[in-house]
Structure 1
Amino acid sequence: MTTKKKFLTAVLIAVAILSAVGYGMFVRNRGVVTVQTGRAIRQDLTQTVSANGEIKPKKYVNVSSNMMGRIVRLPVKEGDRVREGSLLVQLESIQSEADVRSAEASFDAAQTELEGMSASIRSAEATVASAKAEITRSEADLARAKQNFSRAEQMTREGLIAKEQYDRAKADFDISSAQLNAAKARLAQAEAQEAQALTQRASTALRIAQQRAALTRARDQFSKTTIRSTLDGIITNLPVNEGEIAIVGIQNQPGTTLMTIADMSIITAEVKVDETDIVNVRLGQEARIKVDALGDRMLLGQVTEIGNSALARTTSSSIGTSGTGQEAKDFKVVITLDDPPPELRPGLSCTATIETATRQQIVTAPIQALTIREFDPADPIAQSTGAVAVTAPAARANKKKVEKEGVFVINNGVAFFRPVKTGITGTTDIEIVEGLTENDQIVTGPYQVLRTLADNARVKIQKVP
C-alpha cells in the first residue's frame, strides 16, 4: 500500500470517529435546556416603598389681602426672615382713614346729643316735681276756700254777713278750684315732656350703638390696610411689587397672593405613594430622602402623616375607546426630616424610600426565579398550601386547574418545580418562608426559558463570561 493510500485511509477513519462522537453528543444533549442559576442564601432583607414628591415646610402661610387697594409700601424682600407681628405690606389708606374720622365724628356727636337728652330729662323731672308740689298747694288752698265758702253760705242764710262777703268767699272757692285744675294740667304736660325726653334718649342710645358699630367697622377696614406677619419664618415667595393692586378673592376665584411665609424649623417631604404600596406604610417608619438638588446625599426622616383620601391621577397611556383616561390613585404621605440642611428650599423635587419591613438572617431567592405553573387538582403539587384554582379553557368540562407559585430547583442536571411560600420583598430578592433551604441551586433565567420550562426538564447551566 502506498503512502498516499495510507494517508487517505487515516483521514477517513478520523472523520468517521469525529462524526460518531458528534452524533453521540447531539443525541445526549437533545432536550437539554440552557439556564442561568443562582442559590438561595441567608441574609438580612429590607422591604421598601419608593415615592416621588417635593420638599415642603411643615407650617407655611400664603399672605393675601382682605381688601382691595394699591400697595404703597413693601418693606420686605424674598428670603428675608420675619418675626410675628412684623410689617409686611402697607396698602393705600386714604379712604379708609377718612371713614374712620367720619365715624368718630358721628359717634362723638351722638354722645353729645345723649348728654343733652340726659339734661332735658333732669329738667323734665324737676318740672314734674314742681307741678306735683303746686298741686299739693292748690289742693290746700281749695280746701281752705271751700271751708270759708261753706261758712259764708251758712252765715248768709242766718243774715249775719252781707251779700258782698258771700260773693267774695264764693269767688275765692272758684279760683282755688281753677288753680288746682291748672296745676294738674301742668303736671300732665310735664310728665308727657319727661316721657318724650326718655324716648328720645332711648333713640339716641340706639343711634350711638349704630355709630359705635360703624366706627368699629371703619377701624377694622383701616386696620386691613396694614398687613403683618402671623408667624416667625422666611419669605419664600414674593410675586408682587410696590404700586400693584391687591385683589380680594371672591367665591371660586382666588385673590392676589402677596407672599408666602414658611416656618423652616420643621421641614417635610410630601410624596405620593401608589395605592398598591400604601397598605404597607405605617406612622413612625424610617425613610431615606434623596433630593435632586443635593446629588447623592441622603437625608433621614420618619413618616408622620398618611392621607386617608386618594389623589387621582390620569395616565395618558391608558386612554380607552370612551376617550377618558384610567385613574391611577396615589395617597399623600408626609415624612418629617430629622436634621434638614439649611440649603433646602420649598418645592425641591425628592424621592423617598420608606422602610416598611425588615427581616434578619432569612432564606431569600432572586425575585426573577419565581414563576407560576398550573396543575391538575389531583397532582400532589396542586394539593399543597397556597394553591389558587383557575378555570381550565376546555369547555366540555367544569374541571379547574390550580395555580401554584414556586421555583425550579436543580438536582443532578434536572430542574424540579418546587412550590414556595413567600414573605417580604426586597430590591432584588424575596423572602422564602417555606419550600427552600439555604444553598439550594435554582433557575433564575433567562426569562423566556423560565416561562416555558417544564417540570423534570434536563438543564445545562450557562457559563457566566
Structure 2
Amino acid sequence: MWKWFLIVAVVLVLGCAGAGYYFYSNGQVDQWVKMVRPDLKPTEVRLAKSVRGDLVRTVSAPGQVEPKTKVEVSAQVSARILALPFRENERVKAGDVLVRLDARDLAALLDSAKAQLKSEEARLEGSRAAYINSQAELNRRRELYATKDIPKSELDAAETDFLRAESALHVAEHTIDMAKADIRRAEKNLDNTIITSPFDGVITTLNAEVGETVVVGTLNNPGSVIMEVADLSVMLLKARVDEANIAPILEGQKARVYVNAYKELTLTGTVDHVSLKREVDRDGTAFFEAEIILDLPPGLLLRSGLTANADVEVETFRDVVKVPSQAVLDRAIDDLPSSVTDSPILDRTKKFVQVIFTLEGGKARAHVVKTGASDLTDSIVTAGLDADAHVISGPFKALQGLKQDQLVVEQAKKAETGVVEAKKPEQEAPKSKTAGGT
C-alpha cells in the first residue's frame, strides 16, 4: 500500500516539476501560477526598454511671440489726419505713404519764415552799409587827429560809432542765421506731414482715423501713436526664464518652441539674446528675458502676441543609458531585501536609495541605480542598469506598491474595443545586466 502511495507521489511531483519547467521555459510563468495558485493574480504593468543613446537636457520657459523689428508710428507735428492709405493687417513696402497730415498751417509758417528772412536780409544790407561808413569816418578822423586838426573827443566819438555799427552788423548776421534755421525747421515740419514706412512689413495696429488731430509727444505726454508696423518675416519668442534656470542659458543654443495656437506645430529656434537685467512678473516671480529667433516654415504667418513655450537645449549627453523618468523610484533602504541592498553602489550613509524594477521570469526585480541628468521624459542611468533591460515604467499606482519578486505581467495595449487584456509573454524576458552585478 505504502509502495503504491510513494509511486503516485513521485509521479505527481515529477509531473508538477515538468509542467513548471515547461511554463517557465516558454515564458508562461503567470499561467503556471494561475494553475497552481489561482488566488495569486500577477500585477499588470507597463514595460519600457532601457536604451543607449543621446539625451538632451533642456530648460523650459513660457513667453510671447513678437516681431524682431517693429515700430510705433507717431507724428512729429501736431496736425489733422487727411488720409490713411492702408488698413490694419495690410502689407506695406519701405517708402509707402502711411499717413498724410493737413499741411496748410505748416505751409503758412514756411511762407512766413521766408518773408522774415527777406526782411532780415534787407536789414543786414543797411547794417553793412552803416558799418562801412562808420569805418571810413573813423579812418578819416584818425588822420585829422594825427595832424592835430581835431580834438581827441571827436576821435573817441568816431570809434564809438564804429563799434556800435560793427555790433549791429554782427546782430544782423546772426538774425539771418536764425531766420534760415526757422525756414529749415518749417520745411522739415512740412515734410513730416507725410509719414512713410521705414521697412517692408504689416500694419499690425491702427489706432487713429481720418479727421483726428494727432499731437506731438512731450516729457509728460507720450503723444499720439497712429499705428504699429512690424516685419513678420522674422519672429522671436521673448521667453521668461526663471532665475533658478538662467545660468545655463547662452546665446547660440538651439530651442524647440511650441505655440499654443498651433497644437501640432513644433518650431525650432536659436537663442539670440539673454538679458542681464532681472525682472519681476506680476505674481512676484523673478525672471530673465531670453530672445529666441524662430525658424519659420514657408507660408507660416505668426501673429504678434501669441503665447508659446520653449525648451532650450542647454546640454547634450552622448551614448548614455536612458530609462523613462517615472521608472526611477525612491525607496527606503530598510524596506529592501538584502538581495537588493547588497549592491556595491549602495550608499549606506543615506536612508533612501534610487531603485528601478525590471521584469525577469514573471517577477519584479529591484536594482539599485545611480542616475544623472534628465530631460522631459527620460533619465540617465549612470550605474546599476545596462541597456536592453525590460524596465517597469507604470502604472503609477502599481509602481508605488511594487515589491521584490512580486508577480507581474505586461499590460497589453488597448484593443479597438477599448478592453485591456494582460499580455501573454511569448518567452521569458532576458535578465537585465547591471553595472553592480545586482
1:51/1:272 contact within 8 Å kept: yes
2:122 corresponds to: 112
1:100/1:219 contact within 8 Å kept: yes
2:29 corresponds to: none
Q: Deviation of residue 243 (structure 1)?
A: 0.8
458 and 220 in structure 1: CA distance in 2 versus 1, 3 angstrom threshold: same
1:408 corresponds to: 357
1:342 corresponds to: 299
AA aligned opposite 1:34: T
462 and 248 in structure 1: CA distance in 2 versus 1, 3 angstrom threshold: farther
Deviation by residue 1:74-111 (Cα, 9 ceiling, x = unmatched)? 23333444444443222233333333333333333223
Tell me if 1:362 matches 2:324.
no
How many residues were matched structurally?
Answer: 373
Structure 1 length-normalised TM: 0.66
Deviation by residue 1:48-85 (Cα, 9 ceiling, x = unmatched)? 55554443222111111233322122233334444444
- Distance in 1 between residues matched to 2:359 and 2:302, nearest whole Å: 54
- Distance in 1 between residues matched to 2:346 and 2:219, nearest whole Å: 56
- Distance in 1 between residues matched to 2:215 and 2:344, nearest whole Å: 71
Which protein is bigger by CA-based radius of gyration?
A: 1
2:396 corresponds to: 447
- Distance in 2 between residues matched to 1:388 and 1:220, nearest whole Å: 82
1:63/1:258 contact within 8 Å kept: yes
Deviation by residue 1:211-254 (Cα, 9 ceiling, x = unmatched)? 44544444444443332333333333323221112234445654
Q: Deviation of residue 448 (structure 1)?
A: 3.7
3-state DSSP of counterpart to 2:122: helix
1:68 corresponds to: 78
2:407 corresponds to: 460
Among residues 108, 111, 119, which one is paired with 1:101 in the alignment?
A: 111
- Distance in 1 between residues matched to 2:160 and 2:220, nearest whole Å: 58
- Tell me, which stretches of 5 or more residues in structure 2 are unaligned? 1-32, 412-420, 422-438
Tell me if 1:432 matches 2:377.
no
- Distance in 2 between residues matched to 1:124 and 1:310, nearest whole Å: 70
3-state DSSP of counterpart to 1:346: coil
3-state DSSP of counterpart to 1:255: coil
2:256/2:267 contact within 8 Å kept: yes
- Distance in 2 between residues matched to 1:336 and 1:54, nearest whole Å: 12
2:173 corresponds to: 205
AA aligned opposite 2:212: E
Q: Deviation of residue 36 (structure 1)?
A: 2.3
Quote the RMSD (CA, aligned, Å).
Answer: 3.9
AA aligned opposite 2:119: A
- Tell me, which stretches of 5 or more residues in structure 1 are unaligned? 1-20, 140-179, 315-324, 390-400
- Distance in 2 between residues matched to 1:219 and 1:233, nearest whole Å: 28
310 and 373 in structure 1: CA distance in 2 versus 1, 3 angstrom threshold: farther
Q: Deviation of residue 34 (structure 1)?
A: 3.4
105 and 298 in structure 1: CA distance in 2 versus 1, 3 angstrom threshold: same
3-state DSSP of counterpart to 1:78: coil
3-state DSSP of counterpart to 2:320: strand
Q: Deviation of residue 298 (structure 1)?
A: 4.2
1:44/1:360 contact within 8 Å kept: yes
User: Quick check: 431-440 or 36-45, which moved more?
Assistant: 36-45
Q: Deviation of residue 461 (structure 1)?
A: 0.1
AA aligned opposite 2:203: I
Tell me if 1:256 matches 2:256.
no
- Distance in 1 between residues matched to 2:348 and 2:195, nearest whole Å: 66
Among residues 213, 219, 236, which one is paired with 1:245 in the alignment?
A: 213
- Distance in 1 between residues matched to 2:262 and 2:393, nearest whole Å: 37
> What are the residue-to-residue correspondences of 1:206-285 with 2, within 5 Å?
206-251=174-219, 254-275=222-243, 278-285=246-253
1:267/1:340 contact within 8 Å kept: no
- Distance in 2 between residues matched to 1:424 and 1:252, nearest whole Å: 52
AA aligned opposite 1:459: Q
247 and 287 in structure 1: CA distance in 2 versus 1, 3 angstrom threshold: same
- Distance in 1 between residues matched to 2:164 and 2:376, nearest whole Å: 92
Q: Deviation of residue 344 (structure 1)?
A: 0.4
3-state DSSP of counterpart to 1:72: strand
3-state DSSP of counterpart to 1:97: helix
> What are the residue-to-residue correspondences of 1:278-293 with 2, within 5 Å?
278-291=246-259
386 and 51 in structure 1: CA distance in 2 versus 1, 3 angstrom threshold: farther
2:362/2:409 contact within 8 Å kept: no
AA aligned opposite 2:205: N
Deviation by residue 1:122-167 (Cα, 9 ceiling, x = unmatched)? 1122223333444566x5xxxxxxxxxxxxxxxxxxxxxxxxxxxx
1:357/1:424 contact within 8 Å kept: no
3-state DSSP of counterpart to 2:275: strand
AA aligned opposite 2:51: R
Tell me if 1:302 matches 2:270.
yes
AA aligned opposite 2:301: L
- Distance in 2 between residues matched to 1:96 and 1:219, nearest whole Å: 8
421 and 310 in structure 1: CA distance in 2 versus 1, 3 angstrom threshold: farther
Among residues 286, 289, 296, which one is paired with 1:332 in the alignment?
A: 289
Deviation by residue 1:320-363 (Cα, 9 ceiling, x = unmatched)? xxxxx5x3445433332335423404324445444444455532
> What are the residue-to-residue correspondences of 1:67-86 with 2, within 5 Å?
67-86=77-96
284 and 440 in structure 1: CA distance in 2 versus 1, 3 angstrom threshold: same
3-state DSSP of counterpart to 1:459: coil
